[in-house]
Amino acid sequence: MGKGKGFYTMQQKKDDSIRLGIIGSSWISCEMIRGAKSTGFFTLEAVYSRTKERAESFAREQGALHTFTSLQEMAASPLLDAVYIASPNVCHVEQCRLFLQNGKHVLCEKPLAARGQEVMELQKLAREKGVIYMEAIMMLHLPWREKLRRAVRQIGPISLAKFDFCQYSSKYDGFLQGRHQNIFDPAMETGALMDLGVYTVYPALWLFGEPMGVTAAANFLPGGADGSGTATLLYPDKLVVLTYSKTGASHTGGEIVGEKGTIHLPSISTLLGMALYRRGKEPEFLSGQEEKYRLMGYEARQFAQWINEGPDEAYEDASRLAVQVALLLHQIRRMAGIHFAGDETEQLEKPMQPSK
């Protein structure tokens, strides 16, 4: 893929802004729209909804110029350069494929896919089409993430890390009362691991690379979704324990424990409020607080940069990491017995053993 303005080939552009379409009309799309607009790189061109009424009301609320109720028409539309996909997980692969095939840049919500193979296939398609395909994972694009990496080097060697995301879901009361909730429906490829666990897998792989082995277990809810779970990643010199839940909240956060100190991670998804405790030294606060839309603005800004300037080394790193994350999520699912309809029969019959 070329770099510079030549990379940008869409037709009918009035100015330099990237004409963005949105799939999904829930609160997270609103935050992304606000974040994307705040960067100054995007105009909100169109929104999609399955119903005309919702598409029109969402477009009015958000100030979008056009609406679609057909994904095929939206993907083929010359009005759009890029799309943000925030639909239920099970829709991600097909929707990403459709937009990539139509030459649109894609920013897709986490998790990109339930299976690593699907991420690899879509990355190949994005390369062939000369477009960006990126996972909306905040952590990777926050300016303060490098402080975490530096702090890890300062306190090493690391023997133990605990990454945690346990948050009582706003949908759980409704689920307990018998109402259908996408987030607790395995047919939507969701549950605690895919929704929150993904946020703990990302920093583990980003900081420590691929583990030599994995153990995992889950608690299941009526209907088959995992409500909470744990995974332990085995490295030659350390253990990394991941905990995640949608049925209860934790208040202690995560920690990285090294011989020269400890890093406290109150929020693994945003890395906000991080503190470094070096042995014999005063605590050092590495990050403060930030509003959600601004956090999403960082990933939107990165998306715009890759669209405008072409993929760079950071893009290749993020793409590799996205595959590793999807593969590890799949491995954790197999070990914990979290099955989705799209999983291959062979994997259902024969759970994978921890790799040596």
Ligand X SMILES: NC(=O)c1ccc[n+]([C@@H]2O[C@H](COP(=O)([O-])OP(=O)(O)OC[C@H]3O[C@@H](n4cnc5c(N)ncnc54)[C@H](OP(=O)(O)O)[C@@H]3O)[C@@H](O)[C@H]2O)c1
90 or 151: CB nearest ligand X:
90
User: How many alpha carbons fall within 13 Å on the CB side of residue 326?
Assistant: 26
CB 334, min distance to ligand X, A: 20
Q: Which of 64, 75, 91, 140 binds ligand X (CB under 6 A)?
A: 91
Assess 264 for contact with ligand X (CB under 6 A).
Answer: no
Task: By CB under 6 A, tell whether 267 contacts ligand X.
Answer: no
- The one-letter amino acid code at 345 reads T
Which residue number, 203 or 261, has a Cβ lying nearer to ligand X?
203
Structure-token match 């792989």, residue found: 205
How many other β-carbons are positioned within 10 Å of the β-carbon of residue 224? 15
8 A C-beta contact, residue 83 and residue 104: yes
- How far apart are CB 278 and ligand X at their closest, in Å? 31
Q: Examine residue 87 and tell whether it contacts ligand X (CB under 6 A).
A: yes
89 lines the binding site for ligand X (CB under 6 A): yes
Nearer to ligand X, 110 or 147 (CB): 110
SS3 assignment, position 277: strand
Mutual orientation of helices 292-309 and 27-39 as an angle, nearest 10°? 60
Q: Which is nearer to ligand X, 262 or 270 (CB)?
A: 270
Contact (Cβ atoms closer than 8 angstroms) between residue 298 and residue 144:
no
Q: Report the site for ligand X in 179-238 (rule: CB under 6 A).
A: 182-183, 195
- Choice between 170 and 353, CB closer to ligand X: 170
Closest CA to 89 of 330, 279, 344, 334: 330
Residue 109 is a binding residue for ligand X (CB under 6 A): yes
CB 76 within 8 A of CB 98: no
Q: How far is CA 123 from CA 96, 113, 217, 277, 340, in A?
A: 10, 12, 30, 40, 22
Identity of the residue, 126 or 268, whose beta carbon is nearer to ligand X in the bound complex? 268
- For helices 27-39 and 52-62, the axis angle rounded to 10 degrees is 40
Site string for ligand X, 132-151 (x = CB under 6 A): ----x---------------
CA distances (Å), origin 37, targets 12, 34, 244, 269, 340: 20, 5, 32, 22, 36
Site for ligand X in 149-188 (CB under 6 A): 182-183
Where b means 16+ CB within 10 Å and e means fewer, 82-95 reads: bbbbbbbbbbbbeb
Site for ligand X in 16-75 (CB under 6 A): 24-26, 28, 49-50, 54
**Residue among 156, 122, 343 nearest 260 (CA):** 156
Q: Which of 88, 130, 174, 224 binds ligand X (CB under 6 A)?
A: 88
Span of 82-90, 141-149, 229-237, 275-283 interacting with ligand X by CB under 6 A: 82-90
List the interface residues with ligand X, window 275-294 (CB under 6 A).
Answer: none
- By C-beta, is 9 or 26 nearer to ligand X? 26
What is the DSSP pairing of strand 82-85 with strand 66-68? Answer: unpaired
Using CA atoms, how far apart are residues 15 and 190, in angstroms rounded to an integer? 39
Give the shortest CB-131-to-ligand X separation in angstroms: 20
Choose which of 22, 36, 75, 86 interacts with ligand X (CB under 6 A): 86
Residues that bind ligand X in the complex, under the rule CB under 6 A: 24-26, 28, 49-50, 54, 86-89, 91, 109-110, 136, 182-183, 195
